[in-house]
């Protein structure tokens, strides 16, 4: 998926039959109308509130030590969660798409499950699993191992919530690509890891990258599940979204939205990374990805 | 243990390793934690369980959560398809920016989204002021919940349709046009069936997510018992009475519904793929 | 070349990881104490913690850092039960600390361990109305009149909301001596409620920022905070003649202080709240101090309200919770068709 659409591939684009101009204008107009109501206005509100007390106040709020601790915690979480889930996504997609086995449909459904689980439940299950009410949890407590109400709990809850993103991107893609290329390489004497590194990985890189971007966007923004397992200790177990909530309940609206705007920037940054990588890749490579 | 066994010999290596890791990771992060919901309801016994999950307030909350999530998913299906179409097929200034903003609902914490909508649509807010003149009330009504859920589910639809739309071969459309089909006919008879599985997946995910959504909805819903109280809030209020078993019971019902829905979705897709070949 | 891009990602990721390795603000010499509290006490404990840290430093030479965690009272109690290692809890109602004692983290007689039922400060429930009091609300009976819109949070999920509910019930029951009348009164009251936010702060925002409702039922201390934060030119406080004495209790969590070796500090911290200095801070934050001297000093801020206790009308918190707020209780019944 995510075939790069660039002017370089213009010949294909030109050939495209397109809708008449009036239709285009109407459709784009309707889309923009929707974006205005549902995306631009909330976004505008965030920034309007964030800067309601001026630039200096804005900078002050995002440089405040508790805010910085929250940013640190969120980035740490993302840095642990995304590689783990990306690795899992690739492995699962390999197992599911390159082989036939019984129970494939069930397995795929189970992979999707975290999407459909309420964030409230997602937090609750880890409290039920390792909370100190349970034998396992109280045993952990005696060993001095803290999971919930500290960083590991936040990481695990985020792992759960963002679990399916990479696998979900890769499975349809790899299903469409089939396994002929890999099998051909195998008959030519390539070994397992070579096949994966030289053939599969380049084929799926956009899907993988895209899955990782969605995964990190969601990890940055997750509120419900993390809120249940965090403990809300200022400067210690508050992620950015939780810090936003705290500031808001202190009636400190400008600071609250200022910190929220960091999240918007982080989200835009991840997409920016994607665009840059796409461009750079096209510059120094041939149309490897155009192979069937 | 015949479930995950290879059906037929395949020459590619790594089945054992990749499958083993997949099952292990899936169990550790998803299955084992989720099973806690089940184990926490067992001590309840059957009758209290039924009583807990069929109390009138709980039933009303299921109804509300399902109907609002359904409306939101339908709306998202239409707008998501439109957005994906515009982003893939047309070229206009600012397109990349729009494309990037599609993911915003993922990144913006749900609580912030909820606060934003509650502020926008409040009687003194940017939009609410105008709407109040026409006597349209958004916040503290089911409409408000639908608004929040549309926002939450939107990226799921766009991001599942977009890649499929990009892969559609234009030759088919051209051929149809050559054979005298109108643009609309081509879209309805050729493109739509092709996009349908992705559209279905996207909106089902949006729907499933909508049923469980909590953070954004509680700010805008009003939370009146029997009227605007969503199912996840029932779980929360049971927890606040330290009723872990009752909360797990309601959670289990929601979980089973979501799971069977996804199962159904995958079955439909499997069947569709077979039809296609 | 094929792997160049993935290297880039790995490098970026590891850079983020390196820059984001968890570090702590405090140095090793600092003794830490965790106070798990409910929502409206944020400002109070900010001042109290600073005062206590100074006091302790002077007395023992040790530096203490008191970490705060705030949230809905019930949620906070649940977090402590599930393993949030609070040294002290300062919650909105005794029932929540009772629940903690049920899971053996502190003894059942916790409320007898400190003076005044372990409540160093009290509060009550008052009305906040829009400037000029356009609906002429002065008594409890005014807020159940048709056409008056009342904002109060959900008693199922908010401790403050339970005090609101009990205040209304207690008022009517004391006035008429009849529980049936009290129930009808509360039913009429909730008919006037268009939105039940999950927490007290949520209700305040609904009322003050989103412009909903004619009257907000609030803690007295929150009412003063609203005037301070949102402008006394927009809102005013109406104190009813009769209301409930809300007693938010505090307690040391024995199991956790034993584990951390912080018992002495934790006990000193809670006892500090009863000192004249701390009672002054309490009064400045619009909580009613227990110390008569402090109460006298700030008497202008605390209008005379006839206060009844929860035990007078409802027996104790466990009974009140069970009769009124648990599933199937009176609060559920008044919403059934």
Give residue-wise pLDDT tens across range C138-190.
Answer: 999 999 999 999 999 999 889 999 999 999 999 999 999 999 999 999 999 99
pLDDT greater than 80 at residue A161? yes
Q: Which of A148, A232, A235 sits opposite C83 (nearest CB)?
A: A148
* Mean per-residue pLDDT, A179-205: 87
Bigger pLDDT: B178 vs C242 = C242
Give residue-wise pLDDT tens across range A195-215.
Answer: 888 888 888 888 898 889 889
Give residue-wise pLDDT tens across range A18-62.
Answer: 778 888 999 999 999 999 989 999 999 999 999 999 999 999 999
pLDDT averaged over chain B?
Answer: 86
**Torsion on CA atoms A63, A69, A71, A72, rounded to nearest 10:** 130
pLDDT bracket for residue A100 (50, 70, 90):
confident
For C132, the 3-state DSSP assignment is coil
| Cα of C268 to nearest chain B Cα, Å | 30
Give residue-wise pLDDT tens across range A162-178.
Answer: 999 999 888 888 887 88
B218 contact C CB<8A: yes
Report which of C206, C195, C326, C324 is spatially closest to residue B227, judged by C-alpha positions.
C195
Enumerate residues 89 to 128 of chain A having a beta carbon within 8 A of any beta carbon in chain C: 127
Domains of chain B: 47-276 (1.10.3720.10)
Q: Which CATH superfamily is domain C122-246+305-335 in?
A: Periplasmic binding protein-like II (3.40.190.10)
The residues spanned by each domain of chain A are 53-290
- The set of residues, in sequence order, having a beta carbon less than 8 Å from that of C149 and lying 6+ positions away, is C192, C193, C194, C212, C213, C214, C215
Instruction: Flag if C327 and B243 touch (Cβ within 8 Å).
Output: yes
pLDDT greater than 70 at residue B214? yes
Query: Matching CATH topology for C31-119+248-273 and C122-246+305-335?
Result: yes
B271 contact A CB<8A: no
pLDDT for B268:
81
The residues spanned by each domain of chain C are 31-119+248-273, 122-246+305-335
For the domain spanning C31-119+248-273, the CATH number is 3.40.190.10
C273-289 per-residue burial string, b: 16 or more CB within 10 A, e: under 16: bbeeebbbbbbebbbbb
Report which of C125, C179, C177 is spatially closest to residue C153, judged by C-alpha positions.
C125
* Mean per-residue pLDDT, B87-97: 87
B243 contact C CB<8A: yes
E strand residue ranges, A33-103: none
pLDDT bracket for residue A136 (50, 70, 90):
confident
**Chain B interface, best mutation among A41, A42, A70, A136, by max B CB count within 10 A:** A42
Q: Which of C42, C43, C67 sits opposite A233 (nearest CB)?
A: C67
Report which of C240, C224, C230 is spatially closest to residue C206, judged by C-alpha positions.
C230
The CATH class, in words, for A53-290 is: mainly alpha
| Cα of B131 to nearest chain C Cα, Å | 14
Residue A46 bridge partners (DSSP) = none
pLDDT for B3:
58
**Concatenated DSSP letters of C238-304:** E--SEEEEE---EEE-HHHHHHHT-HHHHHHHHHHTTSHHHHHHHHHTTPEESSHHHHHHTGGGS--
Mean pLDDT per 10-residue interval, chain C, length 337 residues: 48 45 50 93 94 94 93 91 94 94 93 95 96 95 95 92 96 94 95 91 90 94 92 94 96 94 95 96 95 92 94 94 92 87
**Rounded to an integer, what is the distance from CA C314 to the centroid of its chain?**
20
User: How many angstroms separate the CA atoms of C70 and C91, rounded?
Assistant: 10
Secondary structure string (H, E, C) spanning C57-99: HHHHCCCEEEEEEEECHHHHHHHHHCCCCCCEEECCCHHHHHH
pLDDT bracket for residue A281 (50, 70, 90):
low
pLDDT bracket for residue A67 (50, 70, 90):
very high
Give residue-wise pLDDT tens across range B8-51.
Answer: 556 788 888 999 999 999 999 999 999 999 999 988 889 999 99
pLDDT bracket for residue A103 (50, 70, 90):
confident
Answer yes or no: pTM beyond 0.95: no
Strand C88-90, strand C150-151: pairing? unpaired
Q: Which residues from B are below 8 Å from A133, CB to CB? A: 244
Instruction: Flag if B140 and C212 touch (Cβ within 8 Å).
Output: yes
List of long-range contacts for A138-145, beta carbons under 8 Å, 24+ apart? A141/C83
Question: Residue A291, by phi and psi: left (phi above 0), alpha (psi -120 to 50) or beta?
Answer: beta
Count the helix, strand and coil residues of chain B and give each as a percent rounded to the nearest 5: 75, 0, 20
For A130, the 3-state DSSP assignment is helix
pLDDT greater than 80 at residue A135? yes
pLDDT averaged over chain A?
Answer: 84
C174 contact B CB<8A: no
State whether the Cα torsion B121-B127-B133-B134 is positive or negative.
negative
Q: Which residues from A are below 8 Å from C32, CB to CB? A: none
pLDDT for B10:
67
pLDDT greater than 70 at residue B86? yes
Q: Which residues from C are below 8 Å from A137, CB to CB? A: 82-83
pLDDT bracket for residue A282 (50, 70, 90):
low
């Amino acid at each position: 998926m995510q075939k790069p659409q660039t002017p370089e591939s213009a010949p294909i684009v030109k050939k495209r039959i397109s809708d008449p101009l009036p239709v285009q204008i109407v459709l784009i107009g309707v889309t923009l109308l929707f974006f205005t109501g549902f995306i631009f206005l909330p976004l505008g509100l965030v920034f309007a509130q964030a800067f309601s007390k001026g630039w200096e106040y804005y900078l002050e709020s995002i440089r405040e030590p508790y805010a910085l601790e929250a940013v640190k915690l969120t980035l740490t979480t993302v840095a642990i969660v995304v590689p783990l889930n990306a690795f899992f996504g690739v492995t699962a997609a390999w197992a599911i798409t390159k082989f036939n086995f019984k129970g494939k449909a069930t397995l795929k459904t189970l992979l999707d499950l975290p999407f459909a689980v309420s964030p409230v439940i997602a937090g609750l299950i880890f409290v039920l699993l390792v909370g100190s009410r349970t034998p396992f949890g109280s045993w952990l407590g005696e060993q001095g191992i803290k999971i919930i109400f500290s960083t590991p709990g936040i990481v695990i809850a985020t792992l759960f919530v963002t679990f399916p993103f990479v696998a979900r991107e890769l499975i349809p893609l790899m299903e469409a690509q089939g396994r002929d290329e890999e099998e051909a390489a195998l008959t030519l004497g390539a070994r397992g890891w070579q096949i994966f590194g030289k053939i599969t990985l380049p084929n799926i890189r956009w899907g993988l990258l895209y899955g990782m971007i969605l995964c990190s966007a969601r990890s940055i923004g997750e509120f419900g599940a993390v809120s249940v397992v965090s403990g809300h200790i200022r400067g210690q177990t508050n992620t950015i979204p939780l810090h936003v909530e705290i500031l808001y309940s202190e009636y400190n609206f400008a600071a609250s939205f200022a910190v929220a705007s960091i999240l918007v920037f982080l989200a835009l940054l991840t997409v920016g990374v994607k665009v840059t990588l796409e461009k750079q890749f096209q510059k120094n490579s041939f149309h490897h990805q155009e192979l069937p | 243990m015949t479930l995950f066994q290879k059906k037929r010999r395949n020459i590619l290596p790594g089945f054992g390793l990749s499958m083993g890791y997949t099952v292990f990771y899936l169990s550790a992060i998803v299955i084992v934690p989720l099973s806690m919901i089940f184990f926490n309801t067992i001590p309840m016994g059957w009758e209290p369980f039924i009583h807990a999950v069929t109390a009138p307030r709980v039933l009303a909350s299921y109804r509300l959560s399902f109907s609002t999530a359904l409306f939101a998913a339908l709306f998202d299906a239409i707008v998501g398809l439109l957005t994906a179409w515009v982003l893939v097929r047309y070229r206009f200034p600012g397109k990349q920016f729009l494309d990037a903003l599609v993911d915003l609902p993922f990144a913006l914490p749900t609580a912030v989204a909820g606060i934003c909508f509650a502020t926008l649509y409040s009687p003194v807010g940017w939009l609410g002021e105008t709407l109040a003149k026409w006597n349209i009330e958004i916040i503290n009504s089911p409409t408000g919940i639908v608004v929040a859920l549309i926002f939450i589910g939107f990226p799921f639809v766009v991001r599942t349709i977009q890649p499929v739309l990009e892969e559609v071969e234009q030759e088919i459309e051209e051929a149809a046009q050559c054979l005298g089909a109108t643009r609309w006919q081509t879209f309805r008879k050729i493109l739509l069936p092709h996009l349908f599985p992705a559209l279905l997946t996207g909106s089902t995910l949006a729907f499933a997510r909508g049923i469980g959504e909590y953070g954004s909805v509680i700010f805008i819903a009003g939370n009146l018992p029997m009227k605007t109280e969503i199912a996840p809030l029932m779980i929360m209020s049971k927890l606040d009475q330290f009723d872990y078993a009752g909360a797990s019971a309601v959670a289990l019902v929601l979980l089973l519904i979501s799971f069977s829905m996804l199962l159904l979705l995958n079955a439909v897709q499997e069947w569709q793929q077979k039809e296609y070949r | 070349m094929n792997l160049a891009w993935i290297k880039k990602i790995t490098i970026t990721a590891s850079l983020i990881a390196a820059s984001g390795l968890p570090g702590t603000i405090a140095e090793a010499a600092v003794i830490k104490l965790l106070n798990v509290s409910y929502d409206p006490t944020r400002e109070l404990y900010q001042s109290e913690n600073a005062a206590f840290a100074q006091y302790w430093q002077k007395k023992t030479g040790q530096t203490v850092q008191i970490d705060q965690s705030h949230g809905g009272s019930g949620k906070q109690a649940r977090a402590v039960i599930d393993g949030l290692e609070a040294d002290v809890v300062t919650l909105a109602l005794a029932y929540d600390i009772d629940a903690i004692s049920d899971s053996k983290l502190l003894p059942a007689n916790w409320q007898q361990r400190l003076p005044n039922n372990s409540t160093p400060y009290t509060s009550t429930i008052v009305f906040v109305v829009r400037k000029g009091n356009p609906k002429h609300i002065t008594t409890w009976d005014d807020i159940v009149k048709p056409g008056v819109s009342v904002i109060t949070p959900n008693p199922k999920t908010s401790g403050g909301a339970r005090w609101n509910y009990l205040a209304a019930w207690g008022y009517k029951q004391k006035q008429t001596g009849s529980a049936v009348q009290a129930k009808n009164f509360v039913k009429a009251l909730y008919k006037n409620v268009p939105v039940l936010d999950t927490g007290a702060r949520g209700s305040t925002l609904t009322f003050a920022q989103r412009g909903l409702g004619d009257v907000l039922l609030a803690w007295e201390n929150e009412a003063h905070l609203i005037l301070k934060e949102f402008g006394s030119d927009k809102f005013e406080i109406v104190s009813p003649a009769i209301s409930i004495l809300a007693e938010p209790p505090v307690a040391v969590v024995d199991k956790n202080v034993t584990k951390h070796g912080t018992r002495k500090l934790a006990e000193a911290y809670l006892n500090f709240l009863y000192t004249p200095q701390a009672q002054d801070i309490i009064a400045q934050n619009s909580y009613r101090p227990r110390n008569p001297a402090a109460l006298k000093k700030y008497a202008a801020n605390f209008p005379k309200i006839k206060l009844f206790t929860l035990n007078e009308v409802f027996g104790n918190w466990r009974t009140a919770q069970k009769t009124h707020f648990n599933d199937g209780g009176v609060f559920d019944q008044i919403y059934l068709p």
